[in-house]
Structure 1
Amino acid sequence: MNAFRLTASLLTFLLAPLAAAWAQTERPSTCLAMAQATPGVIYASFATPTAASAEPVDITYAGHSTYIIETPAGVTIATDFSGAHGASPVPRVVTMNKAHGTHFTRNPDPAIEHVLPGWNPEGGPARHSLLVEDVYIRNVTTDIHRYGTMEPDANSIFIFEVAGLCIGHLGHLHHRLDDSDYAAIGRLDVVMVPVDGGLTLSLDGMSEIARRLSSSVILPMHRHSTPLSAFTSRMGGGFELDFREGRTITVALDNLPRRPTIVILDGV
């Protein structure tokens, strides 16, 4: 194989996840990276943030695995929504996962404009590609262990692209991610991570994922009785700890911490 063909083949391999994602989307993702599948590379966004991209996004811990994301345009999103947390005021968008009844509801409020299940009721992977005012929402499916068996594509990692930020919610993640998963997820500036260490992935596995994502802000969730130190100690000395008295963090592209920071909001 000559050098030209080798280069073309390499580019085809690296761009395949990106091309597949673009084919599903209403607009190109700004959070997907060309070489994300290769460990050790420097990830590059395809979008150049504008001045308007530095507008703030509020993220509020509502309970369990539910965070409320409020965009600069006022769009509210509730993650892993069961109705027990974050139901009032009614969010415009909810995402759900079906590992347990505490992560979804079969009877969402009809006033919710967009209900996005992380699984496909008709079988196969769920495919979400939705633009709601200033936020673009997409998903990457993972598998779930239920009743002693593995159920393919029953969980979704949701990614919210807003104000130049890439915000991810890992859902009820049950297994380690492979290179194709990281490529499909892309860059995450903020990531919400379950840290129960039992019902979801082990703490060793979850900390490995959180370290590889290299997000500026890590927001623990789904803790139950697990000591926070059991997660934070596994993250290593490269991560700062920031305990907050309130339940809301305001993030913007121009105020992300210089060092990766685990932010523990009140209630977590």
Structure 2
Amino acid sequence: MQIKYLAHSSFLVTTEAGTRILFDPYEPGGYDGALRYGAIAEPATVVVTSHDHPDHGHTAGLPGNPDVISGLKLAQSGPRTVADVSLRAVHTYHDQSQGKERGENAMVVLEADGLCLCHAGDLGHTLTPFQGQEVGPIDVLLLPVGGYFTIDAAEATQVRDRLEPRITVPMHYKTPKVDFPIASVEGFLAGKANVRRPGTSELRLASPADLPATPEIVVLEPAL
């Protein structure tokens, strides 16, 4: 499995068999130019969205003709298999008011190559024990950490501690290409051990044997 951080909350996951799953594509120049990442040109087998906001569910203009799966609908319908990939979703919210402020959110769980990955979308609250059980044991967690629109650094730490992934990859944080009122990744990293910055946008895990013995945080560089 190869995990490529495109930008913001968008990732491309490619399995060993070549199936390509694109998570949460954004609208380049969206929100009146506040989101300045480049256009996504990576072809995908399937596009999965956590919700329909422009920085997470912009599927127009993507190359090819990928199947588009709504994570929120997936949470209702149950697991789905695409080639060698199993997908399921856990219904959550974009805020701490059960969706009254910003709506619903889906945490999407992908299983392939003997590995389990969770994309947390725009999660806006910490998880109850039951929600943690619904997500289940995971190896890789793609987690928003910037706050304001999502969980902040402290809340993201609580989510990470509940789910206990072997690898956490931060997303949805302030960079020079984002004018949202959100925090940088540094607040989430502060005081934490086993932080790795490989200096690339890609993480390669061929099998569970490639997982670290000690849980770590991997900060990937946005590709776009």
Residue of 202, 208, 216 corresponding to 1:248: 202
Given the alignment of the two structures, is residue 98 of structure 1 paired with residue 98 of structure 2, yes or no? no
- How many Å apart are 1:126 and its aligned residue? 3.7
* Counterpart amino acid of residue 23 in structure 2: T
Mapped to 2, the partners of 1:107 and 1:58 lie a distance apart of 24
- How many Å apart are 1:179 and its aligned residue? 1.4
Mapped to 1, the partners of 2:99 and 2:84 lie a distance apart of 39
Unaligned 5+ segments in structure 2 are 29-37, 176-182
Describe the shift of the 1:106–1:222 C-alpha distance in structure 2 as closer, same or farther (beyond 3 A): same
Residue of 213, 219, 228 corresponding to 2:185: 228
Answer whether contact 1:126 1:153 (CA < 8 A) is retained.
no
2:9 alignment counterpart: 65
Cα RMSD after superposing both structures:
2.8
* Counterpart amino acid of residue 11 in structure 2: Y
1:43 alignment counterpart: none
* CA deviation profile, 1:208-243 (whole Å, cap 9, x unmatched): 111221111110111115232310126x4xx40110
Given the alignment of the two structures, is residue 82 of structure 1 paired with residue 36 of structure 2, yes or no? no
SS at match of 1:208: helix
* CA deviation profile, 1:149-175 (whole Å, cap 9, x unmatched): 627972100000011101010000011
> Where do 1:123-162 residues align within 5 Å?
126-145=76-95, 150=100, 154-162=104-112
2:179 alignment counterpart: none
Mapped to 1, the partners of 2:25 and 2:114 lie a distance apart of 25
Answer whether contact 1:77 1:93 (CA < 8 A) is retained.
yes
Residue of 123, 137, 141 corresponding to 1:187: 137
Mapped to 1, the partners of 2:174 and 2:105 lie a distance apart of 20
SS at match of 1:160: strand
Given the alignment of the two structures, is residue 212 of structure 1 paired with residue 162 of structure 2, yes or no? yes
Answer whether contact 1:196 1:224 (CA < 8 A) is retained.
yes
Describe the shift of the 1:70–1:172 C-alpha distance in structure 2 as closer, same or farther (beyond 3 A): same
Unaligned 5+ segments in structure 1 are 1-56
SS at match of 2:11: strand
Larger Rg belongs to: 1
TM-score (ref. length: structure 1): 0.69
* Counterpart amino acid of residue 62 in structure 1: L
Residue correspondences, number: 206
* Counterpart amino acid of residue 210 in structure 1: R
% identity of equivalent residues? 25
Given the alignment of the two structures, is residue 261 of structure 1 paired with residue 216 of structure 2, yes or no? yes
- How many Å apart are 1:191 and its aligned residue? 0.4
Describe the shift of the 1:145–1:216 C-alpha distance in structure 2 as closer, same or farther (beyond 3 A): closer
- Greater displacement, 109-118 / 145-154: 145-154
Answer whether contact 1:176 1:209 (CA < 8 A) is retained.
yes
Mapped to 2, the partners of 1:168 and 1:182 lie a distance apart of 12
